[in-house]
Structures are given as structure tokens and as C-alpha cells.
């Protein structure tokens, strides 16, 4: 029994160090303060990140939760709100929870610029996917109701290339990384080497 006491003491010390580290962790940490498996979405951080008409919640993310293969967002767009025209090197799946709008998709990633996009009506209970590097934009074209979508992306964190219009050359698209909701977490994880 006496032989177990040093091992128990070492394990207890390690557990106390882990608890101290977790208690000081921010929402950006891969070891968040809330270790519960089931979480209430309404209690997760929500923001518009300086983009009027948008509400974004990272349900499960690479920077916030240590996800490596997928990331899940809940986004609400007020009437008239839209994403920028953009592309990224990940697959993306949308599930429209409520509202309606328009998906603009330009599948010609091998040309010099996206070109005129195809228009697709999206509506409550519809789903669609965006192939890797296809230029697209989601727009709440409904004047009377919010558009709410659940978004799943592969290979997080996402690096986004933003276009001013559909005829901007691919080579001129502006890289946005980290993306708006990841900025705080990336800055928090940078350490001074001194």
C-alpha cells in the first residue's frame, strides 16, 4: 500500500495542474473550460464579427474545440445580408433550417475568373454542397424573414479567397486567414518567443 502513495501523489499533482490549465483556458482553447459532452447552442459565443446582419456561432471548430476533420457553424442572415463572393479549399455542406434565399455558384475554377454564376433557390429544409474551390455566395434574398443555415466544412480551419465581383481574376482574389471568427483564437495562440 505504501508503494502506491508516491504514484497516487504524482497522479494527483498532474490532475491539479490539468485542472489549473483548463480553468484558465479561453473559449479558443482546444481544452475549453466546459468539458461537458452536451452543450446548449444558445450558451455558445455568438457574434456578427463586424458584419452587419450576420449572426455566427461556431458549434464545433478547429481553434475553439480542436476539431481536425470537420467544423460546424450556425449562421443567421437578416434580409438582404449575404456572404462575400468567395472560394476555399474545403468542401462545404449547408442545411437550410429556416427562411429562403439564393445560392450563386460559379463552377469554372479553371478559367481566369469565376464568370457569371448559376442561381439556385434555397429554402427551408433544403440542403446543398459547395465543391472544393468553387466560387460562391449565399444571399438572403427574402425581404421578410431571416435565413438560418447549419454549415459543415471539411479540413478546418478555412482559408478564404474573397472576390470583389464575379469577373475578378482568381489570381487577384484576396486571402482572408484567419477568418473573422477565428481571428481572436489565432491571436490568443501566438506566443512571444522571448
Average pLDDT over residues 114-130: 97
Q: In the numeric block, which cell numbers belong to residue 15? A: 490532475
Q: Which residue has the higher pLDDT, 25 or 145?
A: 145
167: phi then psi, degrees, rounded to nearest 5 = -115, 15
Q: What is the 8-class DSSP label of residue 75?
A: E
Nearest to 21 by CA among 6, 31, 8: 31
Q: What are phi and psi of 81, to 5 degrees?
A: -80, 145
Instruction: Provide the percentage of residues in the chain whose pLDDT is more than 70.
Output: 78
User: H or E stretch including 118?
Assistant: strand 118-123
Binding-site residue ranges: 86, 88, 92, 136
Question: Is residue 53 classed as helix, strand or coil in its secondary structure?
Answer: coil
Nearest CA-CA partner of 71 in 2, 136, 157: 157
Number of residues assigned to the chain:
194
Does residue 22 carry a pLDDT above 50? no
How do residues 80-108 score in pLDDT, each as one tens digit? 999 999 999 999 999 999 999 999 999 87
* The pLDDT value given to residue 169: 96
Q: Residue 9's pLDDT is what?
A: 40
Q: Residue ranges for the binding site for Zn(2+)?
A: 86, 88, 92, 136
* pLDDT value for 16: 32
Residue 41 corresponds to which cell in the numbers above? 447552442
Average pLDDT on 11-36 reads 43
Domains of the chain: 41-189 (2.60.120.10)
d(CA 75, CA 156): 17
pLDDT in tens, 143-171: 999 999 999 999 999 999 999 999 999 99
Amino acid at each position: 500500500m505504501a508503494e502506491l502513495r508516491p504514484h497516487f501523489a504524482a497522479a494527483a499533482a498532474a490532475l491539479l495542474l490539468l485542472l489549473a490549465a483548463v480553468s484558465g483556458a479561453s473559449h479558443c482553447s482546444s481544452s475549453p473550460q466546459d468539458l461537458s459532452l452536451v452543450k446548449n447552442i444558445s450558451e455558445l459565443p455568438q457574434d456578427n464579427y463586424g458584419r452587419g446582419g450576420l449572426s455566427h456561432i461556431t458549434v464545433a471548430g478547429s481553434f475553439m474545440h480542436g476539431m481536425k476533420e470537420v467544423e460546424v457553424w450556425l449562421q443567421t442572415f437578416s434580409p438582404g445580408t449575404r456572404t462575400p463572393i468567395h472560394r476555399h479549399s474545403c468542401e462545404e455542406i449547408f442545411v437550410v433550417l429556416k427562411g429562403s434565399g439564393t445560392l450563386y455558384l460559379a463552377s469554372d475554377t479553371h478559367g481566369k475568373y469565376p464568370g457569371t454564376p448559376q442561381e439556385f433557390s434555397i429554402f427551408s429544409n433544403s440542403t446543398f454542397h459547395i465543391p472544393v474551390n468553387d466560387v460562391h455566395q449565399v444571399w438572403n434574398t427574402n425581404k421578410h424573414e431571416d435565413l438560418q443555415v447549419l454549415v459543415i466544412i471539411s479540413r478546418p480551419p478555412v482559408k478564404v479567397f474573397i472576390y470583389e465581383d464575379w469577373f475578378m481574376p482568381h489570381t487577384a482574389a484576396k486571402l482572408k486567414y484567419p477568418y473573422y471568427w477565428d481571428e481572436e483564437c489565432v491571436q490568443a495562440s501566438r506566443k512571444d518567443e522571448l
